[in-house]
Amino acid sequence: MLVSGINFLVLGVLFGISGFLNNHRLWKYFPNFFYENKGMLILATMGLSIPLIARGILDIMRYYSTNFNAKVKKHELIYDTLLFVILDLVPLGF
């Protein structure tokens, strides 16, 4: 759990940074395109990086907090369903 949590966290942060840098380049070299699509570009960057970061934080919390891990195991079906819907299906819309 710890390794997957760190992987998700690092990937989410790197994706967010690369999305920000990509948006900055679009703003600098293609300002008309950027201003026409600014909301969609920022929403796509955030919508794809935040679920990875959230999954990484949850995996790390499960490793370090025995209380949190016990609650997750007690309600594993609900946890897995919410994780799948919120962190896997919602980003597919972006």
Confidence of residue 18 (pLDDT cuts 50, 70, 90): very high
**Which pTM does this prediction carry?**
0.88
Sequence-distant (≥ 6) Cβ neighbours of residue 41 within 8 angstroms: 23, 26, 34
Percent of the chain with pLDDT over 70: 100
* Alpha helical stretches, state H, the chain: 2-29, 31-36, 38-64, 66-74, 76-84, 90-92
Please name the residue that has the structure tokens 């790197």.
Answer: 14
Sign of CA dihedral 33, 39, 43, 46: positive
Please say if the pLDDT value at position 91 is more than 90: no
pLDDT at 94 exceeding the cut of 80:
no
